[in-house]
Amino acid sequence: EKHQYILFYSDALASFAYGGSHPFKPVRAKLFYELLNRYSLIFEANQKIMLPGKLDEKLLHLFHTAKYIELLKLSSRGEFMLNMLDFGIGSNDNPIIPGMLDFALEAAGATYEGAMLLAGGRADVVFNPHGGFHHARNDFAEGFCYINDIAIAITALIRQGKRIAYCDIDAHHGNGVQEAFYEDNRVLAISLHESGKSLYPWGGFEDEIGLGGGKGFNVNIPFHAGTDDDIYLSVFEQIVPPLINAFKPDIL
C-alpha cells in the first residue's frame, strides 16, 4: 500500500526532556502536530501518521564507532566516566541523560524507516519532526546530537546504490553530515546557515567544497546574522533547485 505523505510522530518522543534549562525542546514536535490537527492538514486519504519504531542497534555501526556506542549505552544508564568527555558525552550541550539512547534510537528509527519507505517506492514524501541530529560525529556527541540519524540513513541508502541530495536548512551548519560524506560524490550536501563567523559550529564556509572524489559535491551557503526572508529565499531559489536538478538524485 502506498501513501504519498507519511508523518512520523510520537507523543512519548515529544515529551522527552533534556533537562530544565537545556535549550533543546523535543516538545516542539508536539506543537507542530497540534497545529496540523487544528488546521485539518493531516486527514487526507493519501496521508498517513506512523509511530516511530526503534532503530536496530546494529545499524548504528553504519556510521558510529563501536567504542562511542559502548560509552553512549553506559551514559544512557546514568553512568559517567571521565573519558566520556573525550567523546563529547557529559558536556553542557550533551549532558548525561538516563534513557537518552532509547530516545535517540527511536528518533533515528523514524528517519531510517522513512528513508527505506522512500527507497522502496512506498512513499513520496516522509517527514520526521523528531529527527535531524546533524552535528553528531561518528565518535563525538555535539550540539545536542548524540546519534546522527541522517548519516545513518544516507549511508544505508548509498549502499543500496542510491544517489542522495541532502539539503540542510537549519540555522546552524550541518557539520556532522558534511564530515561524513566530504569525500563522496554519491551525496550532494547543501547547507544554508548563519555564518560560522557568528554562530556555532563556527564552520561551514563557502570554500569547504569537498575533497577527492567528493570535491564539488559539498556546498555551503553562509548568511550574515539577521538575514531576512527575501534574501534567504532569493539565494535558495538561485542555488538549490539548479544544483539538485543537475545532480539528479534518487532521493532528496
What positions carry a catalytic annotation?
Answer: 135
CA distances (Å), origin 64, targets 57, 59, 61, 90, 181 = 11, 9, 5, 18, 14
Angle between helices 100-119 and 66-76 in degrees, nearest 10: 130
Q: How many CB atoms lie within 10 A of CB 92?
A: 7
